[in-house]
C-alpha cells in the first residue's frame, strides 16, 4: 500500500509499505480521510521523534478486516478512530489525568513502524487497547465529520477544565480550527465569547460560530488613556474593550489557542481575580516566559493547561459533532490526496485567509 513515511525533520516520503496485518483482537481499517493536526506538524518540522514513522491520527475510514475475537464491529462499518485510550485504573487515571497514563501515551493505531497514528496511509491497524475508542459514524454523517471527533474531544476536555457559570465572559485568542471549536462549544454552553484573530475571514466565521464579539487585536485604540505618552496599542485597545464589555470586572477566563507568549501575558492581565487562563497551543518544550507570579498567588488567577483528549467524553463529543450542533464541515477548507500530504502540512502551517483545517485522503 502507499504511505507517507516520516524519514527525519521535514522529510516526508511517499513509499510503498506492506499492508498491516490485524491480529485476532484487532481491526484493519481502510483510511478515508485523516485530519492534519498541529501536534504532528511540529513533530515533523522539528524532528522531535525518531524516524521512521507514519503520522496522522485524526482518522476515519471503513473496517475491512475484523479479528476473529471481535464481536462489536463488522466489515463495512464506517468508523472514527481514537489513537489514545487510557487504562482507567492507574494512579493518573484515578485522578482523571488521562493524558498522563502510561497506556494512554502509547499510540494504538499504526500503518507500520513505531505506531504514530498511521492515518497518512491507505490502511491502518487498530490495536486491542484502543478498540473502546472506535466510534461508528452514522449513515447521515461523513467520514470527514468522523475524523474531527479527536480534535473536538481535546477542546471539550479543555472546556471542562474551566470553572464557568452560564453567562460568563471569555476570551478565545486565535480562531483557527481549534479556536473556532472553542468558540462554538463555549457559546453552546451559554458563554459570552470574545473571539480574537488577525484574519478577518476567521472573525466572520467566529461570529457565525456564536462569538458575541469578534475583534482583531490590531484594531485601532478606541479609548486611549489621556496623557499617556507610550502605550501598547494592541494591549490597550483590547483591554479597553474588555473593560467596557465586562463593566470593569475583567474576563472570567481566557483560552489561548495561539502559540504566543505575548497573548498569554495580555490574557493574564485581562482576567479578573480568581479567573483562569488556559494554555492550549504552547506545546513546544523548553520555552520560558516571564510572568508576574503575584497575579497567580495574590490575584488567584489560575494558569492551566490542557493537552490531548479525554476518552470518557467520546459519546458527548460524537453527539455534538454528529448532530451538527458543532458543524465541523465548516472548518475543513482543503482536502489533499494522500500523495500530497507534505503540501497539506505545509499549507496547514501557514494560515491564510481561505484556509482552516486540512485533511488528507479521498473519502
Ligand atoms: Zn490531533
Ligand atoms: Zn491509566
Per-residue model confidence (pLDDT) at position 117? 97
- Do residues 158 and 278 touch, judged by C-beta distance below 8 A? yes
Query: What is the Cα–Cα distance from 87 to 66, expressed in whole angstroms?
Result: 23
| Closest ligand (CA of 105) | 2
Ligand 2 geometric centre to CA of 104 (Å)? 7
* Per-chain residues with Cβ under 5 A from ion ligand 2: 86-87, 90, 93, 101
165: nearest Cα among 186, 151, 148, 146: 186
Ligand 1 geometric centre to CA of 62 (Å)? 20
Ligand 1 geometric centre to CA of 268 (Å)? 26
| Closest ligand (CA of 95) | 2
Residue linked to cell 497573548? 263
| Closest ligand (CA of 106) | 2
Per-residue model confidence (pLDDT) at position 229? 38
| Closest ligand (CA of 155) | 1
Query: What is the Cα–Cα distance from 60 to 180, expressed in whole angstroms?
Result: 21
Sign, Cα dihedral of 161, 323, 207, 40: positive
Per-residue model confidence (pLDDT) at position 38? 87
Ligand 2 geometric centre to CA of 135 (Å)? 21
Per-residue model confidence (pLDDT) at position 231? 37
Ligand 1 geometric centre to CA of 154 (Å)? 8
CB atoms within 10 A of CB 335: 16
Query: What is the Cα–Cα distance from 132 to 232, expressed in whole angstroms?
Result: 50
Cell triple for 315:
459519546
Ligand 1 geometric centre to CA of 344 (Å)? 15
Query: What is the Cα–Cα distance from 135 to 73, expressed in whole angstroms?
Result: 10
| Closest ligand (CA of 89) | 2
CB atoms within 10 A of CB 291: 15
| Closest ligand (CA of 86) | 2
Give the CA angle between residues 234, 237, 240 to the nearest 5°. 140
Please state the φ and ψ torsions of residue 322, each to the nearest 5 degrees.
Answer: -75, -25
Ligand 1 geometric centre to CA of 41 (Å)? 10
Terminal alpha carbon distance of the chain: 16
Ligand 2 geometric centre to CA of 153 (Å)? 18
Ligand 1 geometric centre to CA of 112 (Å)? 19
Query: What is the Cα–Cα distance from 26 to 115, expressed in whole angstroms?
Result: 14
252: nearest Cα among 194, 198, 211: 194
Please state the φ and ψ torsions of residue 80, each to the nearest 5 degrees.
Answer: -105, 140
* Per-chain residues with Cβ under 5 A from ion ligand 1: 37
pLDDT in tens, the chain (363 residues): 999 999 999 999 999 999 999 999 999 999 999 999 988 999 999 999 999 999 999 999 999 999 999 999 999 999 999 999 999 999 999 999 999 999 999 999 999 999 999 999 999 999 999 999 999 999 999 999 999 999 999 999 999 999 999 999 999 999 999 999 999 999 999 999 999 999 999 999 999 999 999 999 876 544 444 443 333 344 468 999 999 999 999 999 999 999 999 999 999 999 999 999 999 999 888 888 888 999 999 999 999 999 999 989 999 999 999 999 999 999 999 999 999 999 999 999 888 888 999 999 988
Query: What is the Cα–Cα distance from 351 to 259, expressed in whole angstroms?
Result: 13
Ligand 2 geometric centre to CA of 98 (Å)? 6
| Closest ligand (CA of 117) | 1
Task: Give me the domains of the chain, ranges plus CATH numbers.
Answer: 2-153+309-360 (3.90.180.10), 162-305 (3.40.50.720)
Ligand 2 geometric centre to CA of 269 (Å)? 36
Residue linked to cell 482576567? 271
- Do residues 144 and 327 touch, judged by C-beta distance below 8 A? no
| Closest ligand (CA of 149) | 1
Q: Where are the beta strands (DSSP E) in the chain?
A: 2-8, 11-16, 27-35, 58-66, 78-80, 109-110, 123-126, 135-136, 169-173, 192-196, 213-215, 251-256, 271-279, 302-305, 332-336, 357-360
Amino acid at each position: 500500500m502507499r504511505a507517507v513515511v516520516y524519514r527525519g525533520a521535514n522529510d516526508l516520503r511517499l513509499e510503498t509499505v506492506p499492508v498491516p496485518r490485524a491480529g485476532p483482537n484487532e481491526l484493519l481499517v481502510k483510511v478515508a480521510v485523516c485530519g492534519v493536526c498541529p501536534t504532528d506538524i511540529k513533530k515533523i518540522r522539528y524532528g522531535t521523534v525518531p524516524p521512521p514513522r507514519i503520522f496522522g491520527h485524526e482518522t476515519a475510514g471503513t473496517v475491512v478486516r475484523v479479528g476473529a475475537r471481535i464481536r462489536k464491529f463488522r466489515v463495512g462499518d464506517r468508523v472514527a478512530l481514537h489513537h489514545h485510550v487510557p487504562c482507567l485504573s492507574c494512579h493518573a487515571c484515578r485522578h482523571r489525568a488521562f493524558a498522563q497514563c502510561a497506556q494512554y501515551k502509547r499510540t494504538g493505531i499504526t500503518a507500520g513502524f513505531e505506531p504514530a497514528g498511521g492515518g497518512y496511509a491507505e490502511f491502518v491497524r487498530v490495536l486491542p487497547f484502543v478498540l473502546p475508542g472506535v466510534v461508528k459514524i452514522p449513515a447521515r454523517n461523513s467520514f470527514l465529520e468522523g475524523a474531527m471527533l479527536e480534535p473536538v474531544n481535546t477542546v471539550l476536555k479543555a472546556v471542562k477544565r474551566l470553572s464557568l457559570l452560564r453567562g460568563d465572559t471569555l476570551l478565545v485568542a486565535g480562531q483557527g480550527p481549534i479556536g473556532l471549536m472553542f468558540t462554538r462549544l463555549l457559546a453552546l454552553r451559554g458563554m459570552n465569547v470574545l473571539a480574537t484573530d488577525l484574519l478577518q475571514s476567521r472573525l466572520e466565521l467566529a461570529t457565525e460560530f456564536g462569538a458575541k464579539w469578534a475583534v482583531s487585536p490590531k484594531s485601532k485604540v478606541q479609548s486611549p488613556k489621556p496623557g499617556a505618552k507610550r502605550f501598547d496599542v494592541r494591549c490597550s485597545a483590547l483591554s479597553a474593550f474588555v473593560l467596557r464589555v465586562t463593566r470593569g470586572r475583567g474576563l472570567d477566563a481566557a483560552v489561548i489557542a495561539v502559540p504566543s507568549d505575548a497573548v498569554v501575558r495580555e490574557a493574564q492581565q485581562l482576567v479578573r481575580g480568581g479567573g483562569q487562563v488556559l494554555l492550549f497551543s504552547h506545546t513546544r518544550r523548553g520555552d520560558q516566559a516571564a510572568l508576574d507570579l503575584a497575579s497567580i498567588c495574590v490575584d488567584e488567577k489560575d494558569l492551566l493547561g490542557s493537552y490531548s483528549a479525554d476518552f470518557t467524553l467520546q459519546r458527548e463529543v460524537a453527539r455534538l459533532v454528529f448532530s451538527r450542533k458543532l458543524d465541523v464541515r465548516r472548518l475543513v477548507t482543503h482536502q489533499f490526496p494522500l500523495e500530497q500530504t507534505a503540501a497539506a502540512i505545509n499549507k496547514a502551517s501557514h494560515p491564510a485567509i481561505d484556509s482552516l483545517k486540512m485533511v488528507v485522503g479521498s473519502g
